[in-house]
Structure formats: C-alpha cells, structure tokens
Chains A and B, each alone.
Chain A
C-alpha cells in the first residue's frame, strides 16, 4: 500500500511515518501544506492521502479544502483526515465527497496503533473510518431530541453496535469490542436495520454506506 502524509508539524509527521513503516505501510511522499497535498497526490498517485485539517498557509481548514479538491481531481485516491478536534460540518463535507474511501479521525487515535492501522487499511480499500466521537455526536445527541423517534427505539446495546458500524467496523471486530458472540452482533445488526427501516445488504460495504447515508441525512446537514 502506498500512502502520502501531509502534516505541517515535523514531530507529528515523522512519528506517523515511522509508525506506518513499522506496520508495513509505505509512505511514498510527505508534504506540509495544502498545495503540497495536491502536488504529491498528482505526482505519486498514492492509494491513500493522510492529512491534517489545519495547514499552512491559512492555518484554518486548508487541509479539508485541499482534501476535497484532491478527491475531485482524483476520485480513486482515498482520503483520511486527522484533526485535533471533531467538527461535524467537516465530516459531513467529506462524506458528501463520495461513497467510501474517506475517514475522519482525531489525531490521538494514531496512538492506538493496531486500530489506527486497521482504519488506514480499511479507508485505502474504499471503506470508511469515522472517529467514535464524531459518530456519538451525531447519534447519541440526536436521539434525545425525540425528533428521530426511530433511533430512540434502539436499545443501548443496539446503539453501541450502530456506532461501531458507523465507525466502519466489521461484525467480527464489533463482537471483539463488545465482548459478545458473532451471532449476538448479527442479531443486533438485523434489529437495527429493521428499526431504522434500512435495506440490509449482504456485504459490510453496503451496510456502512447505508448507515452513513442515514447519518448524513440526520446529523451532518
């Protein structure tokens, strides 16, 4: 797998490159600003670009803008955005940019090495990785309003399962995380789809997209 890393802080960039190489992911190029991201994506055609939100020259949302532009020019390149903060507006923009191959994680998730590497591989393969804080901001907050009655109908375990699905986990990973059997997870999943009135597909990918479409409709604007 070929990856590019865009981060303006040398300390973080070097740490991330070392961490990725240790786990068999090849970092083919690095950059430290928005225009640099577009340049190395153009030049190296990587499988995945990992970038920060705040980048020079503006130090605002340069990274998101550059990532969206890169996605527009090269839809085949997956985008994983790392940020110091959760921002639903940005998540929604990334999700709107295309079906799959996008991720938005808090920077400190990198330190959970195995989970992070899984996320990197999943996004590069066209899957999705959303930070659990993003997902819980979109799901947990919504259902208390009473507006989304169908989410209120979920049991706490089902909601937990939905959050993990929306993060892009497989049933096996969810079973490990929740310390239950695979069969129990499959039961939760089919209940969720029944309660949310979502068409359940056979494969994980379609399932994630269905949940993301739902999140986009309710939370992201």
Chain B
C-alpha cells in the first residue's frame, strides 16, 4: 500500500469519527421521540438504515484500498460496493415487510457486471504472470551465461596469456644459463625473467578473483575447504553435496563464504568459525558462524554486495550479529 492511500484512510477515519457521534445522538433522539409518540410502527429503523449506508460504503472502500493499486483494486472496489448495495436492498425488502423478493433483480444485475469485469481482468493478470515468469527465466538465464563466461575467461587467462608468459620466462631462464660468462647480459635477462614472473603472478591473482579453479574442478565443498585451509582463522567445514550445482549458484555461495571468512579474519581475530553447506530440498543453505565479538554492520559494503548477489538469484541472505556472541551469515539459494 502506498503512503498516500494510507493518509486517505486516516483522513476518512477522522471524518467518520466526527460524523459517527452526531449520528448516534440523532438516532437516540429519534428513538426517544418514537417512544414518546406511542411506540407504534418502528420508523426510526429507516433513519438507522440511512445512516448505515454511508458507513457500509466507507468500509467497502477501505477494504478495497488494501489491494495493490491497479486492476485488482478496481475489481475489489466494484465487488465491495455491489455487496453493500445488495445488502441494502435485502434490508429494505425485509424492513418493508418482505413479500415478493424483488432484490433478486439488482443482485443478478450487479453479479453479472462483476462477472464481466472479472472476465476482462483475468487475461490481464494472466499476461502479467506470464511476463513475470518470462523475466525470472531470462534473468536466471543471463546470470547462468555470465557465470559460465567468467569461468571461460578464467580458463583462457590460464591457458592463453599465462601459458605464453610461462613459455617466455622459461626461454629467458635458458638464455640466462647460457650467458653464465657474460654477467652483465645475464643480469639483464634475469630482470626480464623476473618481470615475466611478476606478470604471471598478477594474472593468477586476477583469475582467482573471478573464480577459483578448484571451484570449477571440484565443486563447492572442495572450494570451501580450500578457503578454510587458507584462512587465518581456525575454520571447520561441515557439509557434503552429492551432486554439482549450477555454476551461478556455486559461485554466489563461494563468495558468500569467502567474504564472510575474510570478515572473520579482519574483525574477529583469534575467533574460530564453522562453515555449514547443505541442500534443503532444492535450496542450498550456506552458513558461516563465528564466535567473535559480533557487532557486524549488515549494511556494510561487503555484506550489501553479497546480499545483492544472492537476491539476484532469488535467494535470501541474513546477518545476525550479537555483541560478545559472534556473527552468523546465513544464505539460502534456490538451485532449481
């Protein structure tokens, strides 16, 4: 519900509150007059009906306003007002002594109009649903493509540029050996070789930042174990997956663990952590819990980035950080 409609309702309730008290006073006065004039035919009920109709309409509108803006709210508005009219007709019929049940006609008319409106509404809603499905599919398709493209780039870096640099440094090494009796030239070649080695190292760091090879090779649990063995914190890994997950899910889960363990090392030195990885039906659940000082800011840069990454896959990420009790980063990712 939007803010403006919330304000509308508040305004209406004030107006209604102000109108309600005089109505009640008026009704009481009429009943007193009716009693004083001999309490014959109970005519004040018609005044009560007159006062009830605006209240009924107000309730109907308020209920309809709870719907999201658009076609479904219009439909709800028509339905609720129709209901008030039908109830009014039935009351009028009953209060005027019953007899031939004429309210059936307005009832049929209003119901027919409502049904027609529904027929128009449903295709609109159906096409909206189809569009949502299509967008969901194309988004996850785009993310899958992106994940496998990144892995391809990572492999190309290793097998292409890096391999050439390794071959180059190997040749420089051989040249250096042959220049043993020309120390000046040998020193120059050694410098060139060291430059090549530095370039190789930079490429390796770059490739690892995209996707670590062990993730592509062995899957999530092995990659998490590798992270744990590299971490400065004492990390225990609990988890087993009996099949490989879609690359995009593996990569997102990997970076959740990587970022969380980096945070443990940075903000909770000396703490130990437990990483849990398991499948719950078609959902992958990843949890990183530490016993550090807590107080993590879930709106911090790293955690916000992770949240976006997880939510892009229709997953959920939560951070619970209690002072002196530690921090838990919990993520759940659908894997279809």
Contacts and interface: CB of A to CB of B under 8 A. Distances in A.
A185 B235 CA distance: 33
A147 B162 CA distance: 36
Q: Is the interface of A mostly helix, strand, loop or mixed?
A: helix
Interface string B168-193: 01111110110000000000000001
Contacts of B173: 19, 110-113, 116
A88 to B, nearest CB: 5
A138 B229 contact: yes
A15 B170 CA distance: 7
A107 B272 CA distance: 34
A202 interface: no
Given A113-B173, A220-B229, A87 B214 contact: yes
A136 to B, nearest CB: 11
A84 B167 contact: no
A137 B162 CA distance: 21
A84 B165 CA distance: 11
A114 to B, nearest CB: 8
Contacts of B276: none
A60 B167 CA distance: 21
B197 A111 contact: yes
A111 B172 contact: yes
Contacts of A85: 158, 204, 207-208, 213
A135 B164 CA distance: 26
B155 A12 contact: no
Nearest to A137: B230
Interface string A88-99: 111010000000
B311 to A, nearest CB: 30
A150 interface: no
A61 to B, nearest CB: 4
Contacts of A145: 231-234, 270
A16 interface: yes
Contact of A11 (B167, B169, B174): B167
Interface string B200-218: 1100100110000110111
Contacts of B171: 15
Nearest to B164: A11
A108 B217 contact: no
B193 A111 contact: yes
A89 B174 contact: no
A116 B197 CA distance: 14
B225 A221 contact: yes
B166 interface: yes
A12 B163 contact: yes
B159 interface: yes
Given A61-B218, A85-B213, A88-B230, A12 B158 contact: no
Interface size class of B (residues with CB under 8 A): 35 or more
Interface in B203-260: 204, 207-208, 213-214, 216-218, 222, 225-226, 228-234
Contacts of B234: 145, 147
Contacts of B204: 84-85
A87 B226 CA distance: 7
B229 A113 contact: no
A84 B217 CA distance: 14
Contacts of A112: 173
A22 interface: yes
B332 interface: no
B196 interface: yes
Contacts of A214: none
Contacts of B196: 108, 111
Interface in A22-66: 22, 53-54, 59-61
Contacts of A138: 229
B166 A108 contact: yes
A108 B164 CA distance: 11
Contacts of A12: 163, 166-167, 170
Interface of B: 155, 158-159, 162-167, 169-174, 176-177, 193, 196-197, 200-201, 204, 207-208, 213-214, 216-218, 222, 225-226, 228-234, 269-270, 272
14 contacts: A19-B170, A54-B158, A85-B213, A89-B218, A89-B222, A92-B229, A108-B165, A108-B200, A111-B193, A114-B177, A137-B229, A138-B229, A141-B231, A142-B232
Q: Please provide the 10 A-B residue pairs with the shortest distance between their CB atoms, ordered closest to farther.
A: A111-B173, A111-B169, A60-B217, A147-B234, A61-B217, A15-B170, A113-B173, A11-B167, A84-B158, A88-B229
Given A15-B171, A85-B158, A87-B213, 18 more contacts: A12-B170, A15-B170, A16-B170, A18-B174, A54-B159, A59-B155, A59-B159, A60-B213, A85-B204, A85-B208, A88-B229, A111-B193, A112-B173, A142-B232, A145-B233, A146-B269, A147-B234, A147-B272
